[in-house]
Structure 1
Amino acid sequence: MDISAEAVTKADWPARADEAQRSLKKHFYNEKTGIMNQWFPREYFRPDDNFYYWWHAHVLDVLVDAYERTHDPELALQIREYSRSLRAYNGGTFLHNYYDDMEWTALALLRAFQATGEEEYKTAVLELWTDIQTAWNDHFGGGMSWKKDQLDYKNTPANAPAAILAARLYSLLRNPEDLEWAVRIFEWNQAHLVDPGSGLVWDGINRLGDGRVDYDWAFTYCQGVFLGAGVELYRVTREQKYADAALRTAGACINRLCDPDTLLLPDEGIDDTGLFKGILIRYFAQLEKQFPGAIPVREVILANADALWNKGLDHRSVLCGPSWELKPILPVQLSVQLSGLMLLEGAAVMQRRSTSSELE
Structure 2
Amino acid sequence: MNIYESACEKAQEGLWNCFFDEKTGVMVNHMPVREEENWIYWWHAHALDALLDGYLRKPEGEYLERFRKEYAGTYRENGNTLLHNWYDDMEWMTLALLRAWDATKDEEYKKQALFVWEDIKTAWNDACGGGMAWKKDQLDYKNTPANAPAAIIAFRLYQRFGKKEDLEWGEKIFTWNRDQLMDPETCFVWDGMNREGDGKIDKEWKFTYCQGVMLGAALEYYRITGEKEQLELAEKIARRAVVELAGEDGIFNYEGKDDCGLFRGIYFRYLYELVTAADDCDDLKKIILKNADAVSKAMREDGLVGGDWRSVSAGEIDLAQHLSGVMVLEMAAKLVKED
**What band does the TM-score fall into relative to the shorter chain?**
over 0.9
Count of aligned positions:
339
Per the normalisation by structure 1, the TM-score is: 0.92
State the alpha-carbon separation in 1 of the partners of residues 174 and 238 from structure 2. 16
User: Residues 69-88 of structure 1: CA distance to partner in whole angstroms, max 9, x if unpaired?
Assistant: 11126322222222122111
2:101 counterpart of 1:95: no
Paired residues for 1:86-235 under 5 Å = 86-235=74-223
Do the aligned residues in 1 keep the contact of 2:2 with 2:333 (CA within 8 Å)? Answer: no
Instruction: Pick from 44, 48, 54 the counterpart of residue 56 of structure 1.
Output: 44
Contact 1:60 1:79 in 2 (8 A): yes
Structure 1 stretch displaced more, 285-294 or 89-98 = 285-294
Aligned partners of 1:247 and 1:295 also within 8 Å: no
After superposition, residues 1-360 of structure 1 pair within 5 angstroms as: 12-42=3-33, 45-47=34-36, 49-72=37-60, 74-260=62-248, 262-294=249-281, 296-310=283-297, 312-314=298-300, 316-354=301-339
Question: Secondary structure of 2:141's match?
Answer: strand
Cα pair distance change 1:332/1:155, threshold 3 Å:
same
1:199 and 1:245 in contact (8 A); partners too: yes
Write the letter of the residue equivalent to 1:22: E
Q: Take 1:275 and 1:283, find their aligned partners in 2: how far apart are those partners?
A: 13
Paired residue type of 2:309: W
* Structure-2 separation of matches of 1:17 and 1:327: 17
Q: Please, which runs of 5 or more residues in structure 2 have no aligned partner? A: none
Find the aligned partners of 1:119 and 1:68 in 2 and give their Cα distance: 18
CA apart distance, 1:313: 1.6
Offset of residue 292 of structure 1: 3.8
Separation (CA, whole Å) in 2 of partners of 1:50 and 1:295: 41
d(CA) in 2 for partners of 1:153 and 1:18?
40
> CA offset at residue 89 of structure 1?
0.6
Q: Is the 8 A contact 1:251 1:295 kept in 2?
A: no
Could you tell me how far apart the structure 1 residues matched to 2:105 and 2:279 are? 29
Q: Distance in 1 between matches of 2:241 and 2:132?
A: 23
Whole-angstrom CA distance in 2 between matches of 1:140 and 1:208: 13
User: What's the secondary structure of 2:142's corresponding residue?
Assistant: strand
Between 1:66-75 and 1:223-232, the stretch displaced more is 66-75
SS of aligned partner of 2:27: coil
Q: Provide the secondary structure at the position in 2 that maps to 1:291.
A: coil
- CA deviations over 1:156-188 (Å, ceiling 9, x no partner): 000000001111111110001101111110000
SS of corresponding position for 1:199: coil
User: Which residue identity is paired with 2:299?
Assistant: L
* 244-253 vs 10-19, greater mean Cα deviation: 10-19
Code of the aligned partner of 2:66 = Q
The amino acid of 1:138's aligned partner reads: D
Shift, 1:295, TM fit: 6.0
RMSD across aligned C-alpha pairs, in angstroms? Answer: 1.3
Unaligned runs of 5+ in 1: 1-9, 355-360
Distance 2:137 2:35 in 1: 25
Higher mean alpha-carbon deviation, 125-134 vs 283-292, is at: 283-292
Taking structure 2 as the reference length, what is the TM-score of the superposition? 0.97
Alpha-carbon deviations, 1:5-27, whole Å to 9, x = none? xxxxx952112101110111111
